[in-house]
Amino acid sequence: MSKTHSSTAHDDTPKLGGAPLIIVSGLSGSGKSIALRTLEDLGCYCVDNLPSDLLPEFVASVLGGSNPPSRLAVGIDVRNRAEDLSHLPHALSEVGKMGLQHQLIFLDCRDEVLLKRYADTRRRHPLGREGTRLAEAIALERRLLKPLAAIADKVIDSSDLNVHQLRRLIITELELSLQQGLSILIESFAFRRGVPTDADFVFDGRCLPNPHWNPTLRPLSGRDAAVRDFFASETTVEAYFQQVADFIENWLPRFESETRSYITIAFGCSGGRHRSVYLAERLAERLRTNGRDHTLTFHREIE
């Protein structure tokens, strides 16, 4: 199997969207829980910390039920015993014999970043023992997981990603299409920090009234009720939104006919906090209400 890192988003590596079973592994603190939660939001039936030798039995049990899920995602990491981790290649072979395609995502991260994350959260490392330094626990974990990293279909380095950037990466780079129809990502951004390079549509909200100049609304965001009420009272905002939403809904079926698996719609404003966030959230609400359940939001500047 071939490997790729997160920096190579458009290569020939098999995409994970076609795999009924996705295994998520990686270093503690690298973002495995975020990846699993995102996969769950995208329609996967998710289980974390499954002993690897139970994987074939688990898959057979879940998929053999009366209403089996279309996708499974399983977290397997160093919380397993070392001997269990060594069983994973055999377990994957058994799954393959069942006729089930599988993919392994491995979350990696630089040691200095992991040290800072643990210092910030004050969490205990799963391999931490009395008298064991955190750096030693990370080094041991890296050694134990090295065989899994070696067989991974995709290695994602989360060192320079925050929680929401990693979530966005799982949604977009892995090109997950876990339900029928388009996967739609709607994001907000600040123009002063650059336009998202992978957006299919970009809309400029800087022409609209700006709550930033209201001292009461300035600390809030476009998701807060007070800011939403402010925009609801502005006829120009309503006219702008309705025209953009009508345009998007009119053209989404054409993208589906072109066999696209996902589409990214971006709203920008000056600070990426009020107008763009409001427009992104409201468009997502409208699309979901009209049956496009596979719609997610990402707010680059505030998350």
pLDDT of residue 89: 85
Which fold does the domain 16-172 belong to in CATH? Rossmann fold (3.40.50)
Q: What is the pLDDT of residue 189?
A: 95
Residue 29 is labelled as binding a ligand: yes
The answer to whether the annotation marks 75 as part of a ligand binding site is no
Residue 98 has pLDDT above 80, yes or no: yes
Annotated binding-site residue? 99: no
146 in a known ligand binding site: no
Tell whether 214 is in a known binding site: no
Q: What one-character-per-residue DSSP string does the chain give?
A: -----TT-TTSSSPPGGG-SEEEEEE-TTSSHHHHHHHHHHTT-EEE-S--GGGHHHHHHHHHTSSS--S-EEEE--TTS-HHHHHTHHHHHHHHHHTT--EEEEEEE--HHHHHHHHHHH-PPPTT--TT--HHHHHHHHHHHHHHHHHH-SEEEE-TT--HHHHHHHHHHTTT---SSS-EEEEEEEEGGG---TT-SEEEE-TTS--GGGSTTTTTS-TTSHHHHHHHHT-HHHHHHHHHHHHHHHHHHHHHHHTT-SEEEEEEEESSSSSHHHHHHHHHHHHHHHTT---EEEEETTT-
Tell whether residue 27 is among the known ligand binding residues. yes
Residues 286-295 have pLDDT tens digits of: 999 998 877 8
Q: Is 33 marked within a binding site? A: yes
In the chain, domain spans:
16-172, 183-299
The pLDDT tens digits of the residues spanning 144-198 come to 899 889 999 889 999 998 877 788 788 766 655 444 557 788 999 999 999 988 7
Give the pLDDT confidence score for residue 181 in this predicted structure: 59
142 annotated ligand-binding residue: no
Is 26 annotated in a binding site? The answer is yes
pLDDT at 130 exceeding the cut of 70: no
Looking at residue 302, its pLDDT comes to 85
Instruction: Tell me the pTM.
Output: 0.61
How do residues 220-249 score in pLDDT, each as one tens digit?
999 999 999 999 999 999 999 999 999 999
Q: Residue 19 has what pLDDT? A: 54
Whether 78 has a binding-site annotation, put simply, is: yes
